[in-house]
Amino acid sequence: MSAELSRFLGFAFANADVLIEVRAGGTISFATGAVQHLLGVREAALIGQPIEMAIAPGDRGLVQRLLRTLGPNCRLTPRTVTLSVQNRAAVLSGYRLGSSQSVQLTLTKVNSLATSSPTADRDQQTGLVQSDAFQNQLAERFGLDGEVGAPKLSLVKIADFGEVRSRLSQEAMARLLAEIGALLRVHAADDSLAARLGEDRFGLVHSDAVDVGAIRSEIQATGRAIDPGAPPLTVQNSTIDLASPGLSREDAGRVLLFTVRRFAEEEHTSEISTMTDALQVLVDQTVNRVAKLRSTITGQRLSLQYQPIVSIADRSLHHFEALARFPDAAAGPTIAFAESVGLVQDVDLMVAQKAIDELLAPSAKEELKIAVNMSAASLGSDIFVAAYRKLINRFAFVAPRLLIEVTESSTITDLERAARILNDFRNGGQVICLDDFGAGAASFPYLQALPVDFVKIDGSYIKRLGQSRRDDAILRGMVGLSRDIGVKTIAEMVETVEQANQIMAFGIDFGQGYLFGRPENTPSYTPAGPIGVGKRKGARETWG
Helix residue spans in 361-496 (DSSP H): 376-379, 382-394, 415-427, 443-449, 459-463, 469-484
Banded pLDDT at 121 (limits 50, 70, 90): confident
Is the predicted pLDDT of residue 290 greater than 90, yes or no? no
Task: Dump pLDDT digits (tens) for 76-90.
Answer: 888 888 898 877 889
Q: Quick one: 42 and 97 in the same domain?
A: yes
Task: Return the axis-axis angle of helices 331-340 and 344-360, rounded to nearest 10°.
Answer: 130
In a domain, 542, yes or no: no
Q: Quick one: 175 and 218 in the same domain?
A: yes
Banded pLDDT at 484 (limits 50, 70, 90): very high
CB 201 within 8 A of CB 181: no
Where does a domain end: 242, 258, 287? 242
In a domain, 523, yes or no: no
Is the predicted pLDDT of residue 533 greater than 70, yes or no? no
Task: Dump pLDDT digits (tens) for 53-73.
Answer: 899 888 888 888 888 888 888
Average pLDDT, the chain: 83
In a domain, 486, yes or no: yes
CB 318 within 8 A of CB 510: yes
In a domain, 188, yes or no: yes
Banded pLDDT at 142 (limits 50, 70, 90): low
CATH number at residue 67: 3.30.450.20
Where does a domain end: 109, 139, 169? 109
At 166, is the secondary structure helix, strand, or coil?
helix
Q: Quick one: 327 and 466 in the same domain?
A: yes
Q: Quick one: 82 and 180 in the same domain?
A: no
Q: Quick one: 101 and 136 in the same domain?
A: no
Which domain covers residue 402, as residue numbers?
A: 302-512
In a domain, 262, yes or no: no
In a domain, 423, yes or no: yes
- Among the listed residues 49, 113, 27, 63, the one whose alpha carbon sits nearest the alpha carbon of residue 40: 49
CATH number at residue 472: 3.20.20.450
Q: Quick one: 99 and 186 in the same domain?
A: no
The confidence score (pLDDT) of residue 544 equals 28
In a domain, 251, yes or no: no
Q: Quick one: 65 and 142 in the same domain?
A: no
Q: Quick one: 444 and 306 in the same domain?
A: yes
Q: Is the dihedral of CA 474, 476, 477, 481 positive or negative?
A: positive
The confidence score (pLDDT) of residue 185 equals 93
The confidence score (pLDDT) of residue 272 equals 60
Radius of gyration (Cα) for the chain, nearest Å?
A: 30
* 44: exposed, middle or buried (Cβ count in 10 Å: 0-12, 13-18, 19+): exposed
* Alpha carbon 141 to chain centroid, angstroms: 16
Helix residue spans in 452-528 (DSSP H): 459-463, 469-484, 497-506
The confidence score (pLDDT) of residue 337 equals 78
Task: Dump pLDDT digits (tens) for 408-466.
Answer: 766 787 889 999 999 999 999 999 999 988 776 567 888 888 999 999 998 989 988 98
Share of the chain above pLDDT 90, in %: 38
CATH number at residue 219: 3.30.70.270
Largest distance between two CA atoms of the chain: 100
In a domain, 261, yes or no: no
Q: Quick one: 75 and 179 in the same domain?
A: no
Where does a domain end: 191, 217, 242? 242
d(CA 412, CA 452): 15
CB 58 within 8 A of CB 124: yes
Q: Which residues pair with 373 in a beta bridge?
A: 405
pTM of the model: 0.54
Q: Quick one: 326 and 467 in the same domain?
A: yes
Ranges 39-48, 204-213, 263-272, 469-478: which has the least confidence: 263-272
Q: Quick one: 362 and 499 in the same domain?
A: yes
Q: Quick one: 105 and 134 in the same domain?
A: no
Q: How many domains does the chain have?
A: 3
Q: pLDDT: is 4 or 158 the higher one? A: 158
| Number of neighbours of residue 255 by Cβ within 10 angstroms | 24
Q: Which residues pair with 90 in a beta bridge?
A: 81, 109
Share in percent of the chain as helix, strand, coil (round to 5) = 45, 20, 35
